[in-house]
Chains A and B, each alone.
Chain A
Amino acid sequence: MAIIVVEVMLKPEILDPQGVAVGAALPRLGFTFAKSVRQGKRFEIEVEGTPTAAQMADIEKAAATLLANPVIETYVVKVQA
């Protein structure tokens, strides 16, 4: 069994209102370390056995169609043993 991880982030030049809100909340709670915050999302997809090349290609396709919006987001697909 393997877990395929898809991480989705807004493209760096796109405004990230949620990240900005978190960034503004940190110092209010006394955490002063952050210069800026960007928030993304992470999918963990469980598959049977070691994913084949065809499965990986399918997952890439799914990431581009459903998990991420390539107009404003980037994504990375990784396999976690």
Chain B
Amino acid sequence: MALDTVALATNNPDTPQPFAELGLKSDEYARIKEILGRRPTSSELAMYSVMWSEHCSYKSSKVHLKQFGDKAVKSDALLVGIGENAGVVDVGQGYAVTFKVESHNHPSFIEPYQGAATGVGGIVRDILTMGARPIAVMDPLRFGPADAPDTRRVLPGVIAGVGGYGNCLGLPNIGGEVVFDETYLGNPLVNALCVGVMKHSDIKLAKAAGAGNLVVLYGAKTGGDGIGGVSVLASETFEATGPAKRPAVQVGDPFVEKVLIECSLEIFAEDLVVGIQDLGGAGLSCATSELASGGSGGMKVELDRVPLRDATLSPEEILMSESQERMCAIVEPSKIDRFLEICKKWDVTVTVIGEVTDGDRLEITWHGEIIVDVPPRTVAHEGPVYSRPLAEPAYIARVNAEVINPVIPQTAQEIKDAILMMAATPNLADKSWVTNQYDRYVQGNTVQSQPDDSGMVRIDEKTHLGVAVATDANANWSYLNPYEGAKLALAEASRNIATAGAIPLAVTNCLNFGSPEDPGVMWQFAETVRGLADGCLEMGLPVTGGNVSFYNQTGGVAILPTPVIGVLGVIDDVRTRTPMSFDRAGLELYLIGASDENLSGSEWAYLHGMRGGQAPTADLQREMRLIKLLVKGRTENIFTAAHDLSQGGLTASLTEMVLRYNVGARITLANPGITLLVETPGRVVVAVEASKSAMLKEAAGDIPLTYLGTTGGDSLIINDVEISLTELRTAHTSTFQKLFG
């Protein structure tokens, strides 16, 4: 294919272009022509097509996401908000923490290992880009039914990919989720979260300021990775001469990323960059246009200088390549020698590919010929925005009207069977088979990880300051009521932070949905965002950023609306945290919070083939009072243990608690069948010394408190039901081994 230059585009305005194959609508293509005053060159078309894609431009979600700004709480803790690579929050003692969760769903379905691995790699670079040292990762995962043949293909690959990449980087994996549901068959959700820490003064932003400053590309060489579907190469002219097929899958190299992290941190420490951006989705198109757009706008890039792994790549491909482990920095000329020296020390390929100019155009040349000349804001930030039609889907009224009344166990034998069944069901079973493949303790700062309520890492070895992170989504509730579902997920993640005694501080999210072109899905999305924004406002928690993943559907069936909410909290001394369980006999157990009898959206209902009814209404004032109590329980040393109740209700929490340190409990319940199975939000089980029960009652105030029983023995006894810990452990821990071992 002949090189398409700006001159050619001006002279041949009517050359047909494959915009539809690149995923652009005809009105979007018309708008590009209007912006440029001519047809785009093939390179410009490539850039616009990837940058205006749903993934990069948030064109369907933008109008809704605006609420996170409009309803934003004034938070002194927020140092960098939405819009940058990741938000940054102040956690005290001069430290700032950045965290973000992103999806890598589609690549992980095609190639589970590499898809999941590069998902981890991408989010780690986002955190690094802020100037932070990545310190931990987490992975909320969702798959089709545990016994489905395709799950046997996807799940082991995804787990191995997450572990393989994260372990090689030396990053502890401190938690996440593994959830199974039919709607994720053919559309697994692989979300990856990373936490990084830095000093306040180290924050870096993606902007290219200062004319004359150099644009530097460093890290791995550029290859034909991840161009696939959105490639101009799909056009016939190129196929005739070029390589047959470019893969949509990228292959990562964690060892290159590890070196890139250390190299970048050394560069940051010497303050050698003005702005920085990682190369993720949309590769160089994204990095150059976002950097230029974040600065004054002018940038000149000589694309032929980009070091290539495959010399046959065309300029369009180089612009769209999603080769992993690459970074783009803006460096002052006086500092470039030192920059190059550090890259050389770490054996990192580095090339000056251009410079910041005082104009307002992004100009890209290929062997001296101008192939791109665009206003960068129109590529990066001023893409199309759609107010897509939305309508409450018909199923809502239908399922909300359903009466959810699965059979409730009555006799001792039925209750015993129910407890064992819940302990063993894939959604509630022990996840060690998964997390044992991840390194949880590398770096030596992990305080909590799976199966604790939240992951917790120490960030200062002298003061023992630490951060806790939890991710949660309850797709069953979001399906019944996306507005409440989002609030409930926020409440649950916050509660999971607070059970250890940490204080929730900031929120990130990964919103996984079906097709935005379906008004019903769009309604679910809009309601979710409204719920999350309202919830964060009410709880005083800033949203620091997030990610939207649309088009998660197989044929006409969308996944359950799955907003994964990540909450980050701070704890001034990790040594004082409240553990999730008790390690000795003679403690008193209490249930904090009131229970109702609504089984809608519960695991018990799901196991009985019921997905209907009314989701609970989130009472965030009550949640905030509970969080306050949980934090007080730690600081005043009232609790010996505290564990959240969520999916699986009391039976799941008691199972996890007694098995954690192999200490049983004797519980008395007035109405055991229903009490064990409901999932009423806002509840926690705590263990206290008998001498502290008065303190607990006083601290609880108006919050309902139910005495459950005492700890001790080698079985879980509930009224006249006795299950030995051995039997319970076998049920809880053999599920994954049997399915995937």
Contacts and interface: CB of A to CB of B under 8 A. Distances in A.
A17 B223 contact: no
B247 A71 contact: yes
B251 A12 contact: no
Interface of B: 110-111, 114, 220, 223-225, 243, 246-247, 249-253, 255-256, 309-310, 323-324
B323 A71 contact: no
A14 B226 CA distance: 10
Q: Which 8 A-B residue pairs are closest in the complex by CB-CB distance?
A: A13-B224, A17-B253, A15-B251, A71-B111, A14-B251, A13-B310, A15-B223, A71-B249
Nearest to B224: A13
Contacts of A12: 243, 310
A42 to B, nearest CB: 20
Nearest to B248: A71
A20 B323 CA distance: 15
A73 B249 CA distance: 11
B224 A17 contact: no
Q: Among the interface residues A12, A14, A16, A72, which one has the most CB atoms of the partner chain B within 10 A? A: A14
A76 to B, nearest CB: 16
A11 B323 CA distance: 15
A72 B225 contact: no
A72 B251 contact: yes
B118 to A, nearest CB: 10
A69 B157 CA distance: 12
Q: Among the interface residues A14, A15, A71, A72, which one has the most CB atoms of the partner chain B within 10 A? A: A15
Nearest to A18: B253
B300 to A, nearest CB: 29
A17 B251 CA distance: 9
Contacts of A20: 253
A20 B255 CA distance: 12
A3 to B, nearest CB: 29
Nearest to B157: A69
A13 B242 CA distance: 12
11 contacts: A10-B251, A12-B310, A13-B225, A13-B246, A14-B223, A14-B249, A15-B225, A15-B309, A15-B324, A72-B111, A72-B251
Contacts of B246: 13
Contacts of B251: 10, 14-17, 72
B249 to A, nearest CB: 6
Nearest to B220: A15
A15 B322 CA distance: 12
Nearest to B256: A17
A13 B225 CA distance: 7
Interface in A37-78: 69, 71-72
A79 to B, nearest CB: 26
Contact of A14 (B220, B247, B255, B256): B247
Contacts of B255: 17
Contacts of A16: 251
Contacts of A11: 247
Given A13-B310, A72-B114, A72-B251, 7 more contacts: A11-B247, A12-B243, A13-B243, A15-B323, A16-B251, A17-B253, A20-B253
A13 B311 CA distance: 10
Contacts of B247: 11, 13-14, 71-72
A15 B321 CA distance: 12
Contacts of A14: 223, 225, 247, 249, 251
Contacts of A10: 251
Contact of B253 (A13, A15, A69, A72): A15
B314 to A, nearest CB: 13
Contacts of A72: 111, 114, 247, 249, 251
B111 A69 contact: yes
A20 B249 CA distance: 19
B150 to A, nearest CB: 13
A12 B310 CA distance: 9
A16 to B, nearest CB: 8
Contacts of A15: 220, 223, 225, 250-253, 309, 323-324
B220 to A, nearest CB: 7
Contacts of B309: 15
Contacts of A17: 251, 253, 255-256
A71 B115 CA distance: 11
A7 B243 CA distance: 21
Nearest to A12: B243
Contacts of A69: 111
Contacts of B224: 13
Interface string A1-40: 0000000001111111100100000000000000000000
A59 B220 CA distance: 37
A20 B243 CA distance: 21
A26 B223 CA distance: 22
A17 B225 CA distance: 14
B111 to A, nearest CB: 5
Nearest to B225: A15
A16 B223 CA distance: 11
B256 A71 contact: no
B167 to A, nearest CB: 15
B615 to A, nearest CB: 39
A74 B616 CA distance: 52
B223 A13 contact: yes
A65 to B, nearest CB: 10
A12 B324 CA distance: 16
B114 to A, nearest CB: 7
Contacts of B253: 15, 17, 20
